[in-house]
Structure 1
């Protein structure tokens, strides 16, 4: 007589995230089933380069199957995180993206025309 199989693979549901947290050097994804995935930020250079504010603006798609950061144009699938897949972005593509991000950040921090500080007399 065989024992009961606790693993019903025919009824598997997609692995989904409930929230995302960032440490100094890692991204932590808490799954809806309470498991935790933690991987180095260095695996995802756009997230590593991002500010804390930019990282906080994450959207979940497919009820948490996919994580997307619109300001960074970065998307991670939870299943890819589980399988240990790293970013495949080329160094040249990343460099262009970093230049664009630096320009956007500079334009956000510059004051509109006419609101500069007065020149000293």
Structure 2
């Protein structure tokens, strides 16, 4: 039996929840992480959160209005935003 170990980890869709977001990737997995891991997302309005785009050839998510980029690789590693991002002012300030 030949089992392929390659998976397609490109973004399929993003679902925004009240205090978290989920990313469905092409191989069928769903990754859910708290918005608190990403201060810019935590401070954004619900409308701003919904304005995401797939970027980086399908391997990232971009929110232009709040200047946030998140990679699937980072989400799979369980890596929150760097600590210095916590001091970033809110996009609504």
TM-score normalized by structure 1?
Answer: 0.68
Secondary structure of the residue that 2:24 maps to in structure 1?
strand
Task: Please list every run of at least 4 consecutive aligned residues from structure 1 whose deviation after the TM superposition is greater than 3 angstroms.
Answer: none
Q: Is 2:76 aligned against 1:86?
A: no
CA RMSD of aligned residues (A): 1.7
Q: Is 2:7 aligned against 1:17?
A: no
Aligned residues: 92
Q: Indicate the structure whose relative CO is greater, using CA pairs within 8 Å and at least 6 residues apart.
A: 2
Q: Any idea what the Cα deviations from partners look like across 1:44-69, whole Å, max 9, x if unmatched?
A: 11111111110111111134201000
Q: Any idea what the Cα deviations from partners look like across 1:23-74, whole Å, max 9, x if unmatched?
A: 1111100111221000111101111111111011111113420100000100
In structure 1, list runs of 5 or more residues that go unmatched.
104-121
Secondary structure of the residue that 2:65 maps to in structure 1?
coil
In structure 2, list runs of 5 or more residues that go unmatched.
none
Structure with a larger share of its residues in strand: 2
Contact 1:60 1:66 in 2 (8 A): yes
1:36 to 25, 30, 36: 30
- Structure (1 or 2) with the larger CA radius of gyration: 1
TM-score normalized by structure 2?
Answer: 0.86
Contact 1:58 1:67 in 2 (8 A): yes
Higher mean Cα deviation, 16-25 or 83-92? 83-92
Structure with a larger share of its residues in helix: 1
* C-alpha distance 32-14 of structure 1, shift in aligned 2 (>3 A): closer
